[in-house]
């Protein structure tokens, strides 16, 4: 069954408590946190004080998606916020293997994200060390963008690589997810769908999460 990780990037930041309460009531499997530094991506979202406040209310595991340069600098702070998963970008790490080891040593599950232009083959030598691989289906930085169809090919290719390596890592996809792209992604082999705009701009976000989960 496909799992859903609503991204609070599209939540109402002036009423964040209400949106977290809604996610707690919903069938969401994770709460997805998009952390941006204005350098790796051309946008700044929110940082640790906000995440700490969210963590006090969140009853679902939090997965932190770090869209920042050299994310190894912040591993302990992400851990101290209570994140279950810490996902870093392949493109933002000089020593990716070391960063993954450090995330594990800090007691979190480790994820690696790939931008749309980064081939999945680049993960071949590290795939057995990962708990999660995040395939970006939009260029990171903003919610509400359109899904890039080439993602489906990448998911199928990654699924084959994981099977071949005997890896239990899960495939997460992020960007432009709705009922139509979500169905295609689920068929291609995705395990977790991140959804921001589609959930939070819908008239009934709880129902939308349930509909995505039913794909
Ligand atoms: C994009 C973020 C996403 C974003 C997805 O940089 O990583 O998590 O919130 O938003 P939607 O679902 O609106 O494309
Ligand atoms: Zn994200």
Counting ligand 1 atoms within 8 A of each CB, the residue from 63, 136, 142, 199 with the most, and so the one to mutate, is 142
C-alpha torsion sign, points 162, 62, 80, 144: positive
pTM: 0.98
Q: Evaluate: CB of 71 within 6 angstroms of ligand 1.
A: no
Distance set, CA 69 to CA 41, 77, 79, 90, 213 (Å):
9, 15, 18, 10, 32
Q: How far apart are CA 58 and CA 56, in angstroms?
A: 6
Q: How far apart are CA 25 and CA 27, in angstroms?
A: 7
Q: What's the residue count for the chain? A: 215
Give the model confidence (pLDDT) of 37-92 as tens digits: 999 999 999 999 999 999 999 999 999 999 999 999 999 999 999 999 999 999 99
Instruction: Identify the pLDDT of residue 81.
Output: 97
Give the model confidence (pLDDT) of 178-201 as tens digits: 999 999 999 999 999 999 999 999
Q: Please give all residues whose CB falls under 5 A of ion ligand 2, grouped by chain where several chains appear.
A: 34, 65, 174
Counting ligand 1 atoms within 8 A of each CB, the residue from 4, 5, 8, 9 with the most, and so the one to mutate, is 9
Q: Evaluate: CB of 177 within 6 angstroms of ligand 1.
A: yes
Instruction: Identify the pLDDT of residue 85.
Output: 98
Residue 73, CA atoms < 13 Å, CB-side half-sphere = 9
| 68-103 per-residue burial string, b: 16 or more CB within 10 A, e: under 16 | bebbbebbeebbebbbbbbbbbbbbbeebeebbebb
Residue 44 DSSP label: B
């Amino acid at each position: 069954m496909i799992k859903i990780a609503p991204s609070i990037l599209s939540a109402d930041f002036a009423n964040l408590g209400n949106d977290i309460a809604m996610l707690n009531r919903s069938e969401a499997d994770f709460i997805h946190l998009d952390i941006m530094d204005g350098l790796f991506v051309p946008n700044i979202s929110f940082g640790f004080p906000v995440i700490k406040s969210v963590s006090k209310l969140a009853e679902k595991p939090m997965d932190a998606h770090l869209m920042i340069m050299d994310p190894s600098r912040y591993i302990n702070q992400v851990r101290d916020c209570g994140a279950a998963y810490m996902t870093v970008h392949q493109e933002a790490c000089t020593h990716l293997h070391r960063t993954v080891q450090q995330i594990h040593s800090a007691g979190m599950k480790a994820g690696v994200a790939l931008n749309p232009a980064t081939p999945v083959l680049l993960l071949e030598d590290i795939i057995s060390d990962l708990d999660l691989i995040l395939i970006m289906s939009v260029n990171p930085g903003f919610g509400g963008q359109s899904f890039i169809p080439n993602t489906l090919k990448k998911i199928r290719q990654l699924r084959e690589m994981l099977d071949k390596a005997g890896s239990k890592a899960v495939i997460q996809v992020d960007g432009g997810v709705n009922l139509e792209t979500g169905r295609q992604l689920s068929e291609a082999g995705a395990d977790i769908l991140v959804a921001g705009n589609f959930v939070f701009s819908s008239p009934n976000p709880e129902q939308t999460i349930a509909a995505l989960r039913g794909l």
